[in-house]
């Protein structure tokens, strides 16, 4: 259920016709619906009613401050993967005490920022990271709250680029390694064992991989209890899929019920790290047709949005529904590729789409663009990134202004002011000292 529907023959975002927004803010334009965002969060939250839990929105999916604020006001926690994301959460009024910090490669300065801010937990993903966290915490005179991210070796049956819980993936540690590392952590005064974390992948459209991963990890929790190590929270990660096209992902209620059942015997707090399911269908990308053309036997609709705005089709071969903002009934139809202006053949938003005969100036709506849309956008071809608008009923506000050309060259310098670097300035570490750091 989302709030981008036809009213009087025109697609609206809640109560506002999309053409009005395109006129006011220009295109390409990301439009988000507050009602959809809130509804998705509440449905997921309610699905775990009766269980002590915290929904921690995975902000990588869409980190616009207005979206973070919307969730923060509902009492949301946040899942972050960088110091930059922590900065955003704090800027938006989110509480550090509700922040879960995941990711395989946290730098010292990021660890220090997180510890100073007082995050809820650091999800540690390797032995080397555990050692590093301990050093940074000690240096700051703090005790670092930690969980280990366990890799339960479950196939989430999704696109290989977004499967993260496979045995050979770079994420997490194996159950066997986790046992050993928890024992180390429990003895380290600079560390405080808080919980265990999982995340097996993204856009998962079945419940079974989730419950299987939870079951495997519960075995570890029991084993740890025998050793006197108490696991206070169980983070099941994110990954619940959405409908882009013909997928039939479980309803959040069914997912929540399955998580509840799988964790019925777990005595502690349950954390969730949903990204896509909260924001994916709460956003669309509005784009304007620039030209139509025909090459050989193929029709092309060239639009003003590109892979720089929505990279998912180019990157994962992902499908996003594309429809005219003002549909024409009973008109002539064409089958066309919807492509952007970027100089790459992979720059397409959709292939072989059945569309009405379009004219320059017509508007198209690319659906399900709320997750990993703007967040993965780039400035390739020196294209300014799109504006983002948040709609609430019949009101809209500019959540991010369109980049200007001046924004695009900020920080660059065309006049050389060279510095000379001497060879002596480079310090090469010996093998032995490198060994010590990783010990």
What secondary structure, in 3-state letters, does 266-331 show?
CCCEEEECCCHHHHHHHEEEEEEEEEEEEECCEEEEEECCCCCCCCHHHHHCCCCCEEECCCCCCC
Centre a 10 Å sphere on the Cβ of residue 137 and count the other Cβ atoms it contains: 23
Of the two residues 170 and 429, which places its CB atom closer to ligand LLP in the complex? 170
Question: Would you give the binding string for ligand LLP spanning residues 13-52, x where CB under 6 A is met?
Answer: ----------------------------------------
Of the two residues 85 and 188, which places its CB atom closer to ligand LLP in the complex? 85
Segment interacting with ligand LLP, rule: CB under 6 A, options 19-27, 67-75, 130-138, 231-239: 231-239
Q: Using the rule CB under 6 A, is 53 a contact of ligand LLP? A: no
Q: Using the rule CB under 6 A, is 79 a contact of ligand LLP? A: yes
> In this structure, is the dihedral angle defined by the CA atoms of residues 409, 314, 307 and 300, taken in order, positive or negative?
positive
In 3D space, the residue among 203, 208, 103, 205 whose CA is nearest the CA of residue 154 turns out to be 208
Q: Using the rule CB under 6 A, is 250 a contact of ligand LLP? A: no
Segment interacting with ligand LLP, rule: CB under 6 A, options 30-38, 53-61, 112-120, 177-185: 53-61
User: What does the alpha-carbon distance between residue 32 and residue 280 come to, in Å, rounded to a whole number?
Assistant: 10
User: What does the alpha-carbon distance between residue 385 and residue 215 come to, in Å, rounded to a whole number?
Assistant: 43
The continuous run of DSSP H or E covering 387 comes out as strand 387-392
Nearest distance from C-beta of residue 273 to ligand LLP, angstroms: 4
Centre a 10 Å sphere on the Cβ of residue 188 and count the other Cβ atoms it contains: 18
In 3D space, the residue among 110, 56, 58 whose CA is nearest the CA of residue 82 turns out to be 110
* Residue 343 appears among annotated catalytic residues: yes
Among 61, 121, 285, 342, indicate the residue that binds ligand LLP (CB under 6 A). Answer: 61
**DSSP structural state of residue 404:** P
Segment interacting with ligand LLP, rule: CB under 6 A, options 274-282, 290-298, 349-357, 384-392: 274-282
Among 276, 320, 353, 383, indicate the residue that binds ligand LLP (CB under 6 A). Answer: 276
Check 1, 49, 264, 343 and give the catalytic one: 343
Q: Using the rule CB under 6 A, is 98 a contact of ligand LLP? A: no
Q: Are the C-beta atoms of residues 308 and 342 closer than 8 Å to each other?
A: yes
Binding residues for ligand LLP, total number by CB under 6 A = 22
User: What does the alpha-carbon distance between residue 272 and residue 377 come to, in Å, rounded to a whole number?
Assistant: 26
Q: Using the rule CB under 6 A, is 58 a contact of ligand LLP? A: yes
Q: Are the C-beta atoms of residues 13 and 284 closer than 8 Å to each other?
A: yes
Question: Would you give the binding string for ligand LLP spanning residues 137-176, x where CB under 6 A is met?
Answer: -------------------------x-x------------
Site for ligand LLP in 294-353 (CB under 6 A): 312, 316
Residues with a catalytic annotation lie at 343
Q: Which residues bind ligand LLP (CB under 6 A)?
A: 58, 60-61, 79, 102, 162, 164, 199, 202-203, 237-240, 273-277, 312, 316, 372
């Amino acid at each position: 259920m989302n709030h981008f529907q036809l009213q009087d023959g025109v697609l609206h975002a809640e109560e506002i016709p999309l053409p009005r927004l395109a006129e006011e803010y220009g295109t390409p334009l990301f439009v988000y619906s507050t009602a959809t965002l809130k509804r998705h969060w509440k449905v997921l939250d309610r699905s775990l009613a009766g269980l002590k839990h915290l929904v921690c929105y995975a902000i990588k999916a869409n980190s616009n401050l207005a979206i973070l604020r919307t969730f923060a006001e509902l009492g949301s926690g946040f899942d972050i993967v960088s110091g930059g994301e922590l900065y955003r959460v704090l800027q938006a009024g989110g509480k550090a005490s509700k922040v879960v910090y995941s990711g395989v490669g946290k730098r010292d300065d990021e660890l220090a920022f997180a510890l100073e801010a007082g995050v809820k937990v650091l999800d540690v993903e390797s032995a080397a990271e555990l050692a590093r966290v301990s050093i940074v915490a000690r240096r700051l005179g703090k005790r670092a709250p930690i969980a280990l991210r366990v890799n339960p070796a479950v196939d989430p049956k999704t696109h290989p680029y977004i499967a993260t819980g496979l045995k050979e993936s770079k994420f997490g540690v194996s159950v066997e390694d986790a046992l050993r590392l928890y024992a180390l952590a429990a003895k380290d005064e600079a560390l405080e064992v808080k919980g265990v974390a999982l995340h097996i992948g993204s856009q998962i459209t079945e419940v079974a991989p989730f419950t299987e991963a939870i079951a495997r990890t519960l075995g570890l929790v029991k084993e740890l209890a025998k050793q006197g190590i108490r696991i206070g929270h169980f983070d099941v990660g994110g990954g619940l899929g959405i409908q882009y096209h013909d997928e039939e992902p479980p309803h959040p209620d069914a997912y929540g019920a399955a998580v509840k059942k799988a964790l019925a015997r777990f005595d502690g707090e349950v954390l969730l790290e949903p990204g896509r399911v909260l924001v994916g269908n709460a956003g669309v990308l509005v784009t304007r047709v620039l030209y139509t053309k025909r090459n050989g036997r193929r029709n092309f609709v060239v639009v003003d949005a590109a892979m720089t705005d929505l990279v998912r089709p180019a990157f994962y071969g992902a499908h996003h529904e594309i429809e005219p903002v003002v549909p024409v009934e009973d008109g002539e139809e064409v089958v066309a590729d919807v492509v952007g202006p970027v100089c790459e053949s992979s720059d397409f938003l959709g292939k072989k789409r059945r569309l009405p005969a379009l004219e320059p100036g017509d508007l198209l709506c690319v659906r399900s663009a709320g997750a990993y849309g703007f967040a993965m956008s780039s400035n390739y071809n020196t294209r300014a990134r799109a504006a983002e608008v948040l709609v609430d009923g019949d009101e809209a506000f500019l959540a991010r202004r369109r980049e200007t050309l001046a924004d695009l060259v900020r920080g660059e310098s065309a006049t050389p002011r060279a510095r000379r670097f001497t060879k002596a300035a480079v310090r090469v570490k010996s093998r032995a000292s490198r060994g010590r750091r990783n010990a």
